[in-house]
Amino acid sequence: MFAARFRSRSFNNTMPIWVQHEAAFEAGRVPEPIPTLVAGYRQSQGLGRQVMKGQSGYMILARVTGRFATETPSDAGSWRRLGPREKPKAGEVVRSRMVGARPAYVWDASQTDGELLPIKSHQRKSRGSP
């Protein structure tokens, strides 16, 4: 399914997307006041689309994760952070967790050109509709 290719966004990212999209609509940069399908730059390219010249992305916060390893998971003080290419030692348990956030940018489908999108949000039926 085409829509499944789009990531869901957290509430903390959904609200800034809506606010920034509304500002873009009021400035005449997008044709509709409600965002449709939102994706990052590379994800848009992977879908055969390209961000239009002059379009500003919507800033969101992307998770930064770190990998941690330990031989004794029940001991909270025994976890150590693994380096970027570091492999865990034999017998160690590895877990990832969020260690911060960084700014990232996404664009609405209306801010991109390219291959036609198979669905539009206003064409979808709402729950309970026949």
Chain segment 24-38, per-residue pLDDT in tens: 999 999 999 999 889
The pLDDT of 35-49, averaged and rounded, is 93
pTM score, two decimals? 0.74
Q: What percent of the chain has pLDDT over 70?
A: 85
CA distances from 110 to 23, 50, 85, 86 (A): 14, 11, 38, 41
What is the reported pLDDT for 3? Answer: 45
81-119 pLDDT per residue, tens: 999 999 999 999 999 999 999 999 999 999 999 988 765
Q: How far, in Å, CA of 40 to CA of 9, rounded? A: 12
List Cβ neighbours of 30 (8 Å cut-off, separation of 6 or more). 21, 24, 108, 110, 111
Q: Give 7's pLDDT tier (boundaries 50, 70, 90).
A: low
Residues pairing with 104 in the sheet = 60
Q: Is a pLDDT exceeding 50 seen at residue 125?
A: no
Q: Is a pLDDT exceeding 60 seen at residue 55?
A: yes
Q: Is a pLDDT exceeding 90 seen at residue 58?
A: yes
- Residue spans of the domains in the chain: they are 2-114
Q: Is a pLDDT exceeding 50 seen at residue 53?
A: yes
Sign of CA pseudo-dihedral 122, 124, 40, 10:
positive
Contact 17, 35 (CB under 8 A): yes
Question: pLDDT: is 126 or 58 the higher one?
Answer: 58
